[in-house]
Every structure is written in C-alpha cells, then in structure tokens.
Amino acid sequence: MALSSASPFNKYRNDYEVELQMRQAQQTERDCLAKGHIPTLSEKVHLDLKQNDLSEMTGIWEQWRRNSRDSFCTKYGHIAWLIYVHVDDQLLRAITQFWDPSYRCFVFNEVDMTSTIEEYSSLLHIDQMQPHKVYWRAQKTDHRRKLAKMLNITTEEVDQYLKKKGDTECLSWSFLNNYIKKHKKGEQGLLVFALAIYGLVIFPKILGHVEVSIINFFDQVTRNINPAPTIIAETLRSLNYYRRKGEGHFIGCAQLLPIWIKSHFECKVDRFQKSFLSSSCHIREFCESEWPICKRKKEWIAKLRRLISVEVTRRAPWMPRMQVMYKCGDEPWVSLMGPWGRVKDVVCLLKSASKFPVGLEPQDILLESELARRKLEMKMMNMKRRHEAELEEVKKEASRKVQKAFDEQDEWKNKFESSNATCSALVAKIQGMQTITNTLQNKIQLQEQIIQELRSDCNLMETAMEGYKEQYEANRQEYFRMREVGNSYKQDL
C-alpha cells in the first residue's frame, strides 16, 4: 500500500509529514523520466497462471503432528499455509492490466497501490528472520555443494538427481516428495518441505520442479534472511515483463498477491485475531474471511476502473502498527534482488501519482544469463509447440490410419466369417446330397437286382410256356384224333 499508511514510528513524525516531504521533492525535481519518454505497453495481457498440483504437499502437511507443524512455522514462517490459498486467476489477470511498470504500482482510477516489504513479512509471519538482512545473489554460486549439504548427501549423488531443463538445472518434485516422506520425522524433512514450497508455490518457474536458483536463495533463507523483499522483487519483475510484453508465465507468488490486493478492500466478515498473538495465522484467517467477490475478469476490471479512495482500506486488517521503510538513503526507491535478477522498487507513493509523478523511472536490472535464458526458453518453447503440433498431426493421421485399418480388418473379418459360414452350409448341403445320392444308388442297385430276378423269372416262364404250348398242341392233336375216332364210331353204329 502507499507508504502514507505508515505509523508515526518512522523517521518522520507522521504520514502527513512524509507525504508533504515527497510532494515538495516532486514539485522541485519534477519527473526525471527521459525527455519524450513514452511507455510502450500492450493493450491486453495474456497471463499464463498454470500452477503446480499441491495435493501431495497438502497431504504431507496434514499428516504431520502439531509439534512438527509448529516447529516448521517457527523456522520458516507461515509459508506452508500458502498451499491452501486458491489462486484467483480472474483477479490476477484483471489487476495486471492496471500495472504501471515505470512507477512500480497499480493505478486504479483515483488509487495507486503497491505492496511493501512489511506487509509481505507480516503475512508470512516472519519472526525469526532478520528484517533488514536480504538476499543477494553472488556471481558464482555452488548450488551442488549447497544442495548436498542440505540433503546430507554427496555431490556425486546430487548430480544423479539434478535434471536438465533447457539451459538450467532443477530438482523434480517426485524426488523431493520421496525424500520428505523418508525423513518425515526429522529436521531434514522440514527443511526440504520448505525448499519445495519456495520452488513450487512461491517461485513456480518450472512446473513440477525446483530451479537451482531457488537452492541458492533458500540457502540464505536458512541463514535468517528476510525472504519478503525477494518475493516482492520477483513479483514486480514478473508484472513489469508481462505488462510490457503482453504475455508470459507468471513466476511470482500467485497466492500472496491476491491476498494483499483484496485485504485493502472492505472485509465483509472479519475473522482476524490480534496481530501480536503468536498463534494467529493471517493467511488462514484471510481464507476464512469474506471479501468482495467478482467471479469474472471483466467484473474486476469494471470495479477497479471506478475505484475511489474511500473504498480502500489503507491499512490491511492483519497489518500491525510498525515502522515502515519508505526510502533508502536519499533515494525514494530500494533495489531488490530476486532469484533471477533485481529490480528497483518505488516504495513511496502519493495519493495522486498521475498529478505528481514519482522521481526516477526505475529500470529492471536483469542478469545477462537471465536475458539469454528467456530468449532461449522462448525459442525452445516455440519450437516445442511447433513440434508438439506436428507430432499431434502425425498422431492424428496415424490414429486415423490405424482406425481405418482396424475398420477394414473388421470388415474383412466379417466377410471371411460370412464366407466361412456360407462354405460350411454348402459343404453340409453337398454332404446331404452325397448321402441322398448314395441312397439312390443303393436303391438303383436293388432295383437292378429285382429287375434281373424278374428277367430270370420271365425267361423261366417263357421256357415253361414253350413246354405248355407243345403239350397243348399235343393235346389238341390228341383231341382231334379222338374226335375223328368218335365220329367214326358213330358212323359205324
């Protein structure tokens, strides 16, 4: 939030004096942007908010006993509760449209807002950290040795677990998950779980993996640096980059930013405890409280475009009264280092930055390797998308051909089965006809035998008839002879 919400404990006696001092400086020095400077910003920002699946991390956290969780929160703050925060992607896509990269703030109609180190530190409940001891990245970092020391293994074993992703190395969540389960009752399990949260939740650069730059950062976290400036630095760098380029994958903490922005609106139901209680957890209490809800990006944009100062809570309900840093020496900004580069954060804003612009235009100071990595990553991503598209086309064509082959195979199989059934029916018919033919042949042979017998009988009868004829003729002649004898005998009488 604008630093005018600071309490009277800072260098100036009250926020009015701070505001008056900065307003006079602006009126004297005016805007120090380069002459003719015109910011080139994309009209629309397409933000990629893909997040890691945190269900396994949630399961690990809930399986731990109360004393283990308390010990974790004591050492690393309340970062574990971020795994329960729902990422409001519609809100994030909406507020990105209002981000001004030149002045490092959100410009909502009459209200200019930017987060502070103290707000993020309060949200994460960082008590054991040294608030003014911040992360600074060295030119050469031996992440292999640091990781070996964290995991209590050799550098040779570390080489086996590190994976190459583009031009960087990283650790997979599957390895960290197994390691945490193996050491769930010891301090090593708590340490690696914290490393996983920083790599998968707070800085999700490579999904499913923890990038080696996080190892260097986390090594300093274990030595009680304040992680809040680094989290803000990466959030600002991400917002600056995507607002200017118009697209990209958000690698800042997508859980903390919506909490911060919503906390400056009027809370409908307040469940916050007293901030000085050690048992209070602002992140959990935020999730239990009710805030203004806009389900769609357009609704958020419409709300933020007409936002006025009276609708904004200048001090979030979970923010305690404390000293707030609003300048660094004579400069109205602070240089913050993130895992992949650094940025200048304008920490002092007024109520109307458009009328009285803030001094110097901060510039992103990215490491050369980071710029080269981004270009290479973009090139590899485009190549990957092209190859994936080509592979998808090949898969579709192959799938179509395979399906066609299967369909033809089924068709020919059906035809074969039909032909086989037809052939079987024909064979059965042929066998039936053969049986009938054999039966007829047997009958014909029997008839031929009968005919032969009849012929034999006819021959016998013909022979007998010849005999009968001869006998008949003999009897006939005997009859005529007897008749003549009778006639002769009558005449003699």
Give the model confidence (pLDDT) of 434-465 as tens digits.
999 999 999 999 999 999 999 888 988 888 88
Bridge partners (DSSP) listed for residue 193: none
pLDDT at 275: 55
176 has pLDDT over 80? yes
3-state secondary structure the chain: CCHHHCCCCCCCCCHHHHHHHHHHHHHHHCCCCCCCCCCCCCCCCEEECCCCCCHHHHHHHHHCCHHHHHHHHHHHCCHHHHHHCCCCHHHHHHHHCCEECCCCEEEECCEEECCCHHHHHHHCCCCCCECCCCCCCCCCCCHHHHHHHHHCCCHHHHHHHEEEECCEEEEEHHHHHHHHHHCCCCHHHHHHHHHHHHHHHHCCCCCCEEEHHHHHHHHHHCCCECCHHHHHHHHHHHHHHHHHHCEEECCCCCCHHHHHHHCCECCCECCCCCCCCCCCCHHHHHHHCECCCCCCHHHHHHHHHCCCHHHECCCCCCCCCCCCCCCECCECEEEEEECCEEEEEECCCCCCCCCCCCCCCCCCEECHHHHHHHHHHHHHHHHHHHHHHHHHHHHHHHHHHHHHHHHHHHHHHHHHHHHHHHHHHHHHHHHHHHHHHHHHHHHHHHHHHHHHHHHHHHHHHHHHHHHHHHHHHHHHHHHHHHHHHHHHHHHHC
Burial class (CB within 10 angstroms; exposed 0-12, middle 13-18, buried 19+) of 275: middle
32 neighbors 361 (Cβ within 8 angstroms): yes
Whether residue 2 is predicted with pLDDT greater than 60 in this model: the reply is no
Write out pLDDT tens, residues 329-363: 776 677 788 888 777 655 554 333 333 333 333 34
Supply 219's token pair. Answer: 């090594």
How many Å apart are CA 371 and CA 486, to the nearest integer? Answer: 165
Overall pTM surpassing 0.75 (yes/no): no
> Which pLDDT value is given to residue 204?
92
pLDDT the model gives residue 277: 60
d(CA 17, CA 11): 10
Q: How far apart are the C-alpha atoms of 453 and 451, rounded to whole Å?
A: 5
Task: With cut-offs at 50, 70 and 90, classify the pLDDT of residue 137.
Answer: confident
Residue 368: predicted pLDDT: 44
Average pLDDT for 255-268? 86
| Structural contact between residues 216 and 339, judged by C-beta atoms closer than 8 angstroms | yes
Report angle CA 20, 110, 239 to the nearest 5 degrees: 95
Dist CA 315 CA 261 (whole Å): 11
306 has a pLDDT exceeding 70: yes
pLDDT 10s digits, 49-104: 888 999 999 999 999 999 999 999 989 999 999 999 989 889 999 898 898 888 78
CA pair distance 339, 270, nearest whole angstrom: 35
At residue 247, the pLDDT reads: 80
Do β-strands 365-366 and 247-249 pair in parallel, antiparallel, or remain unpaired?
Answer: unpaired
Q: List, in sequence order, every residue forming a beta bridge with 111; answer none if it has no partner.
A: 108
Instruction: Name the residue with higher pLDDT: 434 or 367.
Output: 434
Burial 331-349 (b: 16+ CB within 10 A, else e): ebbbbbbbbbbbbbbbbbb
- Between strands 341-346 and 365-366, the pairing is antiparallel
Pairwise pLDDT comparison (243 vs 227), residue with the higher score = 227
Q: Looking at per-residue confidence, does 112 or 45 come out higher?
A: 112
Q: What are phi and psi of 276, to 5 degrees?
A: -85, -10
- Between 86-95, 197-206, 311-320, the lowest mean confidence (pLDDT) is in 311-320
What is the structure's pLDDT at 190?
Answer: 94
